[in-house]
Structure 1
Amino acid sequence: MPATRHFDAIIIGAGAAGMFCAALAGQGGRRILLIDHSPEPGRKILISGGGRCNFTNIGASAANFLSANPHFAKSALGRFTPADFIALVDRHRIAWHEKTLGQLFCDGSSKQIVAMLLDECAEGGVETAFGQAATVDHRDGHFHASFGQSEAKAPALVLASGGLSIPKLGATSFAYDVARRFGHKIVEPRPALVPLTLPEGQALFKSLSGVSANVIASTGKGKFREAALFTHRGLSGPAILQASSYWRHGEPVAVDFLPDQAAGWLRQAKREEPRISLRRALGRCLPDRLAETLGDQLNLSGELANIPDKALEGAERRLGDWHFIPNGSEGFAKAEVTIGGISTAELSSQTMQSKRVPGLYAIGEAVDVTGWLGGYNFQWAWASAHAAAQAIAAGDR
């Protein structure tokens, strides 16, 4: 066995958080080793944003994140902002554009972000070991990593291997397992930003597969106005993905199908065009197939003139608060991120370092901080990586 090599920090996980942390700590004068069991770094970056990487959101703040401690993310997010990452992207001359709701995407390809991070790592003299699974332990004041035929040790270890979402890209429980071994609690990991499935009793809506509409979807404390999409298994689209992070099994998801319609709009339609049907009135606001299905479910046939005002008011109320009871989600296989993870209770919000084990850090998706859809989770990756890298760079030489 070759001699054990010494580094200032070992980072496990070459995703967004791990690569950025490695680059910053390396550029801060530290000798860094970045390990990942995948031969290809940044695999989730590559598929993000439809291949264009929604790399941040200009409105990102702690209010856009879920955590058992809703204040935990404030420090890191406040010290490394979307503007800071945009400046890096601009320095690498990567063209970008803003879509809706502050979401920023590459004009070209997600590959540009991965290449940028690898270039930044190279600038910091980061050593990499890709395609090699690591095992770690802690003794004599150092973290020891075994990978392939190699051994390394360092006074700092950064868990940046992410959560459980998208296992086909290599997601594992590595970070949770190591954290548990060092006495850290894990907040129950669940799929987040994930399509929800409907039971057979609501098969009628599955027949609308491919139909989408702009709605307000809400469950728990989450309420989002974006597009909802019916699928052959249930509900998807941005509004549903957002709501899914707040959804718990057995709870309803309420959908307002007509958020732009003022109260009394059906009675007004009745006065102005008494001879049209409810289905036709809905068809002026919604896709035809959806209007037809909702109209059938409301069971109000004939002309509006022949439907009592009270019945129309009842229809409006139901259209504005239509309850679906999902029987589950499409799971980690389709979840964009994992909610839950390493508890923030024993991590420093300033440095992301363990309060239990000096030198142990956790960043990115491995931590119980989960962002909304739209670039927020990348911003958490950059900000938490920056916080840890600053602490590592400032540590004892």
Structure 2
Amino acid sequence: MIWDAIILGAGAAGMMAAIEAGRRGRRVLVVDHARAPGEKIRISGGGRCNYTNLNIAPDRFLSQNPRFALSALKRFTQWDFIARMDAAGIAWHEKTLGQLFCDGPATQVVEMLVRDMDRAGVTLWLGCAPGEVRRAGEGFEVETARGLQRAQAVVVATGGKSIPKMGATAYGYRLAEAFGLPVVETRPALVPLTFAEQELAWMRPLAGVSLPGRVSCGKTGFDEALLFTHRGLSGPAVLQVSSYWREGEAISLDLLPGCDVAADLRAARGKLALRTVLGRWLPERLARHLEEAAGVTGVMAELSGATLDRVATGIRDWRLVPVGSEGYRTAEVTLGGVDTRALDGRTMQALGVPGLHFVGEVVDVTGWLGGYNFQWAWSSGWAAGQAV
């Protein structure tokens, strides 16, 4: 049998592409080495699936060409996917910053997509690893664990390198390069940052301390929670900035954004210890560390204005230099991927290789934390599904 389209990968983008192509009457085969579809959907959002965001906009995506994503995102929006959730009877709620989560388990989203594929006549082969993909006349030959398959079009939806224990590999990038497509250098994104031993010596006693703050790298900053760990820093604000951070650069922590800390410290003069005053605004363990790091031993009345200014600066602009990240093991997504200059933004088709499409995380489009990457999967998969 010659398929109209073979989709490589049964994740969010792959299933979306398959549904759309199947609904158009195409003969579609989805192939995935995993034993279950949509595993990243299942584990996302603490098992509740942060499936999209109300604030989708091009500036929330990183790419060498951030505007590349605009066509797909405009043609299949967050509201379109929300409508599908509503039609499927899946209850959801909004958390902070426009993030939408399922009320119930994330498996509801997987079940909806699998059901839609079945209704669209899509064939799904799980536990079937794809192999080499070759040109064959005007179509393609795809090696699979179930034998050679032929198709007029191939959609590569194999994801990135993040979370290898779930089976993530560089397969999609190697396939792109085999067809002569450029690949932007990849690196872990939305990932905790790690530090050298001299920083970890004081960070470890703070492990588990969490607080709202602002974490910045260069001109980019995020106002969300940050978390001290045994290995360094995590929490939403740190994960966000990790996509912008590069080795050798410092990040800045603002532990009390929007506050005039210097003025507040001056107003607190008296017989109180600095840690006691800081403890009004910050977790106790962190307040004690800041007092020790500042080398302050006296009470507030004994501290000079210069000392208070120095403490305030340390709280509002605390510079730290990570040595790395926790890597793909815990990264939520992969930064970089198939160069968008080699793709058509409307169809996700490779320029110069008719019938070959790339969607989702394998492409050099990486969203912010908070449902943006799932929306890119839905939108890019939808776009390819209209074209194959």
The reply on whether 1:73 has 2:69 as its aligned counterpart is yes
In 2, the alpha carbon distance for the partners of 1:389 and 1:27 equals 9
CA distance in 2, matches of 1:295, 1:25: 61
Q: Is the 8 A contact 1:183 1:356 kept in 2?
A: no
Q: Is 1:343 aligned to residue 329 of structure 2?
A: no
* Structural RMSD (CA): 1.1
2:40 equivalent to 1:15: no
Give the Cα–Cα distance (whole angstroms) in 2 for the partners of residues 166 and 221 of structure 1.
29
The aligned counterpart of 2:303 is 307
CA separation of 1:294 and 1:102: change in aligned 2, threshold 3 A: same
The whole-number CA distance in structure 2 between the counterparts of 1:109 and 1:379 is 18
Give matches, 1:164-183, under 5 Å: 164-183=161-180
Aligned to 1:146: 143
- Distance (whole Å) between structure 1 residues aligned to residue 219 and residue 182 of structure 2: 25
Partner in structure 1 of residue 238 of structure 2: 240
Return the alpha-carbon distance in structure 2 between the equivalents of residues 297 and 221 of structure 1: 26
1:26 maps to which of 13, 22, 31 = 22
Q: Partner of 2:373 in structure 1?
A: 377
What residue identity is the alignment partner of 1:6? I
1:267 is displaced (CA, Å) by 4.3
Q: Residues of 1 paired with 2:239 and 2:145: CA distance? A: 39
Instruction: Name the counterpart of 1:395.
Output: none
| Contact 2:192-2:234 at 8 Å conserved across structures | yes
Question: Where do 5+ consecutive residues of structure 1 fail to align?
Answer: 393-397
CA contact (8 A) 2:52 2:372 kept: yes
State the match for 2:183 in structure 1.
186
User: For residues 191-240 of structure 1, what are the alpha-carbon distances to aligned partners after superposition, in whole Å with 9 as ceiling and x for unaligned?
Assistant: 00101111111120122111111110011343101111011111001010
Tell me the number of residue pairs that the alignment of Structure 1 and Structure 2 aligns.
Answer: 386
Work out the CA distance in 2 between the residues paired with 1:55 and 1:46: 11
Mean alpha-carbon deviation: is it higher for 297-306 or for 184-193? 297-306
Distance 1:219 1:352 in 2: 32
SS at match of 1:358: coil
- 1:266/1:313 contact within 8 Å kept: no
* Cα displacement (A) at 1:148: 2.3
1:266 and 1:316 in contact (8 A); partners too = no
CA contact (8 A) 1:269 1:281 kept: no
After TM superposition, the structure 1 = structure 2 runs for residues 1-397 of structure 1, keeping only pairs within 5 Å, are: 5-135=1-131, 136-202=133-199, 203-262=201-260, 264-270=262-268, 273-392=269-388
Q: 1-side partners of 2:185 and 2:193: how far apart?
A: 19
Distance 1:26 1:221, change over 3 A: farther
Task: For 2:217 and 2:184, locate their aligned partners in 1 and report how far apart those are by CA, in whole Å.
Answer: 20
1:156 alignment partner, SS class:
strand
Whichever residue aligns with residue 154 of structure 1, its letter is A
Unaligned runs of 5+ in 2: none
Query: TM-score under structure 1 normalisation?
Result: 0.95
2-side partners of 1:298 and 1:263: how far apart?
15
Structure 1 SS opposite 2:67 = coil
Tell me which moved more, 313-322 or 172-181: 313-322
Residues 266 and 308, structure 2, Cα contact 8 Å, conserved in 1: no
Indicate conservation of the 8 Å contact 1:54/1:106, yes or no: yes
Distance in 1, Cα, partners of 2:177 & 2:219: 30
Q: For 1:251, what is the secondary structure of its paired residue?
A: coil
Letter in 1 for 2:235: G
Does the C-alpha gap of structure 1 residues 219 and 310 become closer, same or farther in structure 2, counting only changes over 3 Å?
same
Taking only the aligned residue pairs, the percentage that are identical comes to 52
CA contact (8 A) 1:266 1:312 kept: no
TM value normalised by structure 2: 0.97
Per-residue CA deviations over 1:42-85 (Å, capped at 9, x if unaligned) read 11111000001000001111111100111111111111111100
Q: Is the 8 A contact 2:60 2:367 kept in 1?
A: yes
Once residues 158 and 220 of structure 1 are traced to their aligned partners in structure 2, the CA distance between those partners, rounded to angstroms, is: 37
Return 256-265 or 376-385, whichever deviates more. 256-265
When structure 1 is superposed on structure 2, of 310-319 and 168-177 the one drifting more is: 310-319
